[in-house]
Amino acid sequence: MNRKSGKAGYKVRAFDLDVKSVDDSGQFSGYGSVFGNVDSYGEVVAPGAFAKSLEDLASSGRALPILWQHDSYTPIGSWSGLKEDDKGLFGDGSLWLDDAPNAKIAYRGMKAKAITGLSIGYYVTSASYNEKTGIRTLNELDLVEISIVTNPANSEARVEAVKSVIAHGGIPSLSEFERFLREAGFSKSQSAVIANRGLKHLLQSESGGEASDANRLLDSLKSISF
């Protein structure tokens, strides 16, 4: 059984970048997203998810920016030739080596294979959830930017992704929020209770010495900076 969801908050999704094609002028190519790959959030991008967004981008005549670490104040280049193929979202990037200091850092890191990630910033326009598999399929995405990132698979990046959703007024999925809680120090069972029933239920359900543990974890949650 599937359920539909409308446009959600701003999110990021990272993939490894093949940097063999970076040349001396800062030109490179790579996949900002791949299809059919279930990520750590239990989500998968469906083929065609970027079709409408790319169409709107083309009709506007606007180039999609390359950002440094998803910082909207730090553009380091622009994308061209963005398209979907059988594998995913492919594009050609051009780094502004003469004008953006962080573009030089990205370039040197990519050439040295020390910086190896691309990450898309997007809004979910349409998605479906399979109750049996627990997998959420992203059917249509509003593409905002594609960043070069240092650690695409880093757990801290996943925490920052959830923080970004909340900061932009969105609501993370249960699986995202539960993973965020676990990375913040809560146990698997406590994270599940908080994500599904709320923190108040956890505090009410624990007594005696366990209650002090729950209050300690509550203090830990309050200390997390958004």
The last residue of one of the domains, among 107, 126, 152, is 152
Higher pLDDT, residue 117 or 144: 144
Mean pLDDT, residues 51-77 = 93
Residues 116 and 196 in one domain: no
The last residue of one of the domains, among 120, 152, 184, is 152
The last residue of one of the domains, among 92, 124, 152, is 152
Alpha helices in 115-223 (DSSP H): 155-167, 174-183, 188-197, 199-205, 209-222
The phi, psi pair for 29, rounded to 5°, reads -145, 155
Q: What is the predicted pLDDT for the residue at 181?
A: 74
**Is 145 in the active site?**
yes
The phi, psi pair for 140, rounded to 5°, reads -145, 130
Helix (H) or strand (E) holding 139: strand 135-149
Residues 21 and 128 in one domain: yes
Exposure string of 132-152, with b = 16+ CB inside 10 Å and e = fewer, is eeeebbbbbbbbbbbbbbeeb
Task: Evaluate if pTM is beyond 0.75.
Answer: no
Helix (H) or strand (E) holding 104: helix 101-111
The length of the chain, given as a count of residues = 226
**Per-residue pLDDT for 30 more than 80?**
yes
Work out how many domains the chain is built from and give that number: 2
Catalytic residue among 33, 119, 164, 173: 119
Residues 97 and 198 in one domain: no
Residues 36 and 81 in one domain: yes
Residues 58 and 111 in one domain: yes
Residues 87 and 158 in one domain: no
- Among 2, 11, 15, smallest CA distance to 132 is for 2
Least confidently predicted of 13-22, 67-76, 113-122, 197-206: 197-206
Q: What is the predicted pLDDT for the residue at 205?
A: 58
Q: What is the predicted pLDDT for the residue at 208?
A: 47
Catalytic residue among 70, 147, 173, 191: 70
Q: What is the predicted pLDDT for the residue at 6?
A: 47
Mean pLDDT, residues 191-197 = 75
Q: What is the predicted pLDDT for the residue at 104?
A: 94
Catalytic residue among 43, 140, 145, 178: 145
**Is 119 in the active site?**
yes
**Is 70 in the active site?**
yes
Share of the chain above pLDDT 90, in %: 33
Mean pLDDT, residues 87-104 = 93
Give the domain extent around 204: 153-226
Least confidently predicted of 25-34, 182-191, 203-212: 203-212
Residues 213 and 203 in one domain: yes
Q: What is the predicted pLDDT for the residue at 14?
A: 79
pLDDT (tens digit per residue) in 116-133: 788 888 998 999 988 888
Q: What is the predicted pLDDT for the residue at 4?
A: 40
